[in-house]
A = this chain, B = another copy of it.
Amino acid sequence: MGMTDRLRLGLIGYGYWGPNLARNFHQLPEAALVACADMDAGRLNEVGRLYPSLKQLATDARALIENPTLDALVIATPARTHFALVKQALEAGKHVLVEKPLAMSSGEARTLIECAREQRRVLMVGHTFEYNPAVWKIRELIQEGALGKLYYFYSNRVNLGRVQTDVNALWSIAPHDISILLYLMNQMPETVAARGVSYVSQGVEDVIFALLTFPENVNAHIHASWLDPSKTRQMTIVGSEKMVVYDDVDPEAKLKIYDKGVYRRGDAFGEFQLRVHSGDIYIPKIDLTEPLRYECAHFLECVRENKPPRTDGENGLRVVRVLEAAQASLHQNGATLPVA
């Protein structure tokens, strides 16, 4: 593939996550990363040195948005800036990949979806776990019924360090869990209840606990925090026949599938009996390709073939709707609220 056939990309935001996007797009032969914007001149300098292919370095995102030679923009800026930047980019005719969350309200998200539709441009949200082979495997297990009747999920996504002062742990961390859960369940939760506590910065919850209730009494509990001694990205899925522990930071055993379960069974006399079984554990081999690479490749493919991404605007909107309901619950002291 010649240089001229490659999609010309600009990256807006080279902070925490931007370097990962830059690295992945740089490695993909289908893309040419030719422009980058960041408000910090030091960061710009750094990215320019690492990627000599960058022709345009700007401290103002507008410079990239207005550059007519760019096909697509990748936006990795703070959450509160997503709406305005994505809107401008789409209106300037760019395809857009934006980091999660898509926007800070469902109203904003709908506006962006509408805008992408009008402009006939690809709008994709960086829900990276939907490009993770371990998550694919769990979905496969659920869909083929291997876990039996689904009981509940619980997720622990905590670590120390990335303390935010603008958005809380719900909007910063929990989008990952919500995106995974919607993907695995293939439906929306009926209700959400969430609680959070601020320790470091007043009004910004450092720790949140949320409970999502799906149809048929399937529940999912999320614990997200940036005040924790250890980096943990663990989700447990409990079914009546099998249980799965998904530990995203364990390279050898990302998934452990336990042949364990409890269920009630009616016997010949109309009585119910409890059956508990506990058997082998199975650790399937999981493709260890970086999920972000699949995500980036998928974006390029969607732009090239003009097809809707798996994590399109509608997908991003669904996550925002759950976040929005959870945020309302936070403000109402943990009330159980319907997902609008």
Measured CB to CB, the residues of A under 8 A from B are 26-27, 29, 49-50, 52-53, 151-152, 154, 160-161, 163, 165, 193, 195, 197, 199-201, 206-207, 209, 211, 217, 219, 221, 223, 225-230, 236, 238, 240, 243-245, 252-253, 256, 258-260, 262-264, 274, 276, 278-285, 333-334, 336
- The interface residues of chain B lying within 8 Å CB-to-CB of A333 are 336
- Which of B151, B163, B280, B336 is within 8 Å of A334, CB to CB? B336
Q: Are B336 and A200 in contact (CB under 8 A)?
A: no
Instruction: Give complex CA distance A200, B265 in Å.
Output: 10
| Sampled A-B contacts (13; CB under 8 Å) | A151-B199, A152-B199, A154-B223, A160-B276, A163-B276, A165-B274, A197-B219, A200-B263, A200-B264, A229-B244, A281-B282, A282-B283, A334-B334
- Which of B226, B258, B278, B283 is within 8 Å of A281, CB to CB? B283
Q: Are B221 and A228 in contact (CB under 8 A)?
A: no
Q: How many whole Å from A153's CB to the nearest CB in chain B?
A: 11
Q: Are B245 and A217 in contact (CB under 8 A)?
A: no
Given A163-B274, A165-B274, A217-B199, verify A238-B228 contact (CB < 8 Å): yes
- Which of B49, B225, B285 is within 8 Å of A280, CB to CB? B285
Q: Are A256 and B229 in contact (CB under 8 A)?
A: yes
- Nearest 8 interchain pairs by C-beta: A281-B283, A229-B258, A229-B243, A151-B199, A279-B285, A280-B285, A280-B284, A52-B52
Given A52-B53, A228-B238, verify A262-B160 contact (CB < 8 Å): yes
Q: How many whole Å from A329's CB to the nearest CB in chain B?
A: 10
Q: Are B264 and A201 in contact (CB under 8 A)?
A: yes
- The interface residues of chain B lying within 8 Å CB-to-CB of A29 are 49
Q: Are B209 and A221 in contact (CB under 8 A)?
A: yes
